[in-house]
Structure 1
């Protein structure tokens, strides 16, 4: 039978070809039901697949219906419907007659679990894991921030995890219970966060907040203009990437127990959004589509030794691999 349709698939001829009568095999078909016919949009003629449900499937469906005609029952409920036996797309059934799985388990995590709202729980057919690995499992989600989390720090030897967010707060989490153990209200968006030794560094607009987690000492490093997007530590220097394109550096002074300004690196034309210290170099990536490498001279000052321009890249953004490098040598002896 031919059916003319003017629906959402346009004016197309859909061929509704029934399968063989009484379950007899047909040499002109493959014995499989056309998935496009099931979706209501098969336009092939002749179609090599059946345009009707297989008799076996119809019989099994009616038997599972329990006489009530239902084609699906909630797998979380009891009873003898489809949800309570076998494997189906709505949940994880008990498997085959031998106790083993009837189908291969999916190789991707449940997207509803990742979003935090899967209603099937352990009966879900998809794994409830962020990583498909036997050695990594989810412990607990840490919920509390109201906006994007922009920094996480786990100080060595500490049982507290720190997180910063654009909601203007720093939260301290107990690593044993997963509960929030304290909230520090900054009042301004947090752009980044790192820890080094006993120090916790938080980048905010126009400043870097510093806390000593052992002595509870607090400092405010001024100098940045605009948001501080990245922080890095190397060769006893603290580096801050700023919105105005500069990279500021501070050195800790044991005599004053404070961080003192050490350098202001200029060269980028737009905001610096990434900093990496490695192989005795400082690497910086900027929204001006350049990566700059900074090196220390014999006198101890820092200079640009290499600039890479990415002409075909629309921009270097936070989280990209493009960063900046600086060669850091020990200062010459006095």
Structure 2
């Protein structure tokens, strides 16, 4: 015989809840009425099915308490009646050890850097980051006809990098110690060291040692003109000159005593005039043919870190945080210069160089003491963008169209190009 199963049985509901109330009868779970005989003092039944006590007060309305932990933190009314409808954050996984950074707000994404730069439009893209030097890079060069990049450093080495792979293929230690400056001239790579200039032919491997300086060579300038002049400024303020060709140096000249006992930090040449910047804050102009100083400019309050000849102007940078533009005075000799414009940076200016943008417009590249390299239009000096480095970029080189090389205080060589 089949057993009939009710819906209430299938749901396993209690019988008292499954049956409806009939008439005015109270449900079984209601308290019994008070015995009227007990109230008059004449009830003789024991036990009595009626209540021998005052009826309890009727229960009040049930108040449901919401635990505070159940409040949805994502639905919080804001001033003005707006409600935040973001989904709640997932609860963290249980852990017996409290993380120290649990109470810290999540770190926001860092601003986009331009190959390490900051908030300017991304006008550059990174090509390579060459790591290996243990100290500041003082020069980056690529000789003619070579697929290798050379870098010199205060760590006393010259590193050779494969341009195709970005790998270091050779490390050449300098017996004299730190490399104060490094440039290329034709197929030659020239490294300024203590008491000499070391010359390496990138094609044949021939090595030469150009003697003459008594102290560290702190600045080099190679001019691929008809005479092939190589200039070297030293730590004791003396300037030297060689004439170079494909076979090597032809003769040697000491230009002058230079800047007394202060180091020659920067060199530039324009229209037959050699300009030298010194740690004493002065700029001297030299007539190359006669080897004499024709005038001195005293416009900076600190070391003149770089010099650049552009058009009819001379640009100079300094540790005093300025870039100054010099030009010939009106109706005066071309060698008589005055300050035409002063550009202020809020940091030391470590180096400058010039190049052209993809539209062939001239730009100035300015390295700051905070590790930022800024790019400005010329002549407006409107900022175009910037490149970030791991330390102050002591050297800026422009050897290939649209490509900029920087060597910074951390020992890194960075290669970027116009995007």
Deviation at 1:90, TM superposition (A): 4.3
Deviation at 1:64, TM superposition (A): 4.0
User: 91, 110, 113: which one pairs with 1:109?
Assistant: 113
Aligned to 2:362: none
Deviation at 1:306, TM superposition (A): 1.2
Q: Is the 8 A contact 1:149 1:166 kept in 2?
A: yes
The 5 Å alignment of 1:30-179 reads: 55-56=83-84, 59-60=85-86, 63-66=87-90, 68=91, 90=108, 108-109=112-113, 114=116, 132-134=121-123, 136-179=124-167
Aligned to 1:268: 259
CA distance in 2, matches of 1:245, 1:272: 5
Deviation at 1:277, TM superposition (A): 1.5
CA distance in 2, matches of 1:138, 1:253: 35
Greater mean deviation of Cα atoms: 312-321 or 178-187: 312-321
Aligned to 2:330: none
Aligned to 2:393: none
The 5 Å alignment of 1:242-257 reads: 242-252=234-244, 257=248
Mark the structure with the bigger radius of gyration. 2
Greater mean deviation of Cα atoms: 241-250 or 230-239: 230-239
Distance 1:130 1:258, change over 3 A: farther
User: 207, 211, 214: which one pairs with 1:222?
Assistant: 211
Distance 1:129 1:191, change over 3 A: same
CA distance in 2, matches of 1:164, 1:240: 16
User: Structure 1: which 5+ runs fail to align?
Assistant: 1-21, 32-53, 71-87, 92-105, 115-127, 328-334
CA distance in 2, matches of 1:208, 1:65: 65
Deviation at 1:253, TM superposition (A): 6.9
Deviation at 1:144, TM superposition (A): 0.8
Distance 1:295 1:24, change over 3 A: closer
User: 295, 303, 307: which one pairs with 1:306?
Assistant: 295
Aligned to 2:77: 23
Q: Is the 8 A contact 1:289 1:314 kept in 2?
A: yes
TM-score, normalized by length of structure 2? 0.47
Deviation at 1:168, TM superposition (A): 0.6
More helix by share: 1
Aligned residues: 223
Deviation at 1:160, TM superposition (A): 0.4
Structure scoring higher RCO (CA < 8 A, sep ≥ 6) equals 2
The reply to whether residue 232 of structure 1 matches residue 221 of structure 2 is yes
Q: Is the 8 A contact 1:233 1:277 kept in 2?
A: no
Q: Is the 8 A contact 1:146 1:167 kept in 2?
A: yes
The 5 Å alignment of 1:173-212 reads: 173-187=161-175, 188-212=177-201
Q: Secondary structure at the match of 2:126?
A: coil
Deviation at 1:158, TM superposition (A): 1.6
User: Structure 2: which 5+ runs fail to align?
Assistant: 1-75, 94-105, 308-315, 319-323, 327-334, 336-419
Deviation at 1:302, TM superposition (A): 1.6
Aligned to 1:97: none
Distance 1:180 1:283, change over 3 A: same
CA distance in 2, matches of 1:259, 1:218: 15
CA distance in 1, matches of 2:143, 2:119: 24
CA distance in 2, matches of 1:283, 1:259: 23
Q: Give per-residue Cα distances to partners, 1:194-249, cap 9 Å, x unaligned.
A: 00101111001111001111221111111112111111123421110011111011
Q: Secondary structure at the match of 1:224?
A: strand
TM-score, normalized by length of structure 1? 0.58
Deviation at 1:281, TM superposition (A): 1.7
